[in-house]
Amino acid sequence: MPKELEPGSHESPDDSSSTAHTLELLCHLDNTAHGSMACVAWEPTGDGKKVISLADNHILLWDLQESSSQAVLASSASLEGKGQLKFTSGRWSPHHNCTQVATANDTAVRGWDTRSMSQIYCIENAHGQLVRDLDFNPNKQYYLASCGDDCKVKFWDTRNVTEPVKTLEEHSHWVWSVRYNHSHDQLVLTGSSDSRVILSNMVSISSEPFGHLVDDDDLSDQEERRPEEKSQEPPQDSVIATYEEHEDSVYAVDWSSADPWLFASLSYDGRLVINRVPRALKYHILL
Q: Residues interacting with other proteins, by CB under 8 A?
A: 1-2, 125, 128-129, 150-151, 172-174, 193-195, 244, 247-249, 268-270
DSSP3 helix / strand / coil % (the chain, rounded to 5): 15, 40, 45
Shortest distance (Å) from residue 143 CB to other proteins: 22
- Comparison of 126 and 203: residue with beta carbon closer to other proteins: 126
Q: Which is nearer to other proteins, 195 or 200 (CB)?
A: 195
> Which one-letter amino acid corresponds to residue 234?
P
CA dist., res. 134 & res. 179, Å (int): 8
Collapsing DSSP to helix, strand or coil, 162 comes out as coil
Q: Which is nearer to other proteins, 215 or 269 (CB)?
A: 269
Minimum distance, C-beta of residue 166 to other proteins, in the bound complex (Å): 16
Compute the least distance from the CB of residue 38 to other proteins, in Å. 11
> Facing residues of 143 across strands?
157
Q: Is the CB of 30 or the CB of 247 nearer to other proteins?
A: 247
DSSP per residue, 169-207: ---SS-EEEEEE-SS-TTEEEEEETTS-EEEEE-GGGSS
User: If we measure between CA atoms, which residue out of 89, 109, 108, 91 comes closest to residue 100?
Assistant: 91
Min dist CB 150 to other proteins, Å, is 7
Q: How far is the CB of 261 from other proteins (least distance, A)?
A: 28
Least gap, CB of 25 to other proteins (angstroms): 21
Longest dimension (CA), the chain: 68
Q: Could you tell me where the beta strands, DSSP code E, fall in 202-261?
A: 238-243, 250-255
> Between 268 and 286, whose beta carbon lies closer to other proteins?
268
Closer by beta carbon to other proteins, 1 or else 213: 1
d(CA 129, CA 133): 12
Q: How far is the CB of 62 from other proteins (least distance, A)?
A: 25
Neighbour tally for 209: CB within 10 Å: 14
Angle, alpha carbons 209-214-215 (nearest 5°): 95
Sheet of 100-105, strand order: 87-92, 100-105, 108-113, 118-123
The smaller minimum CB distance to other proteins, of residues 149 and 254, is found at 149
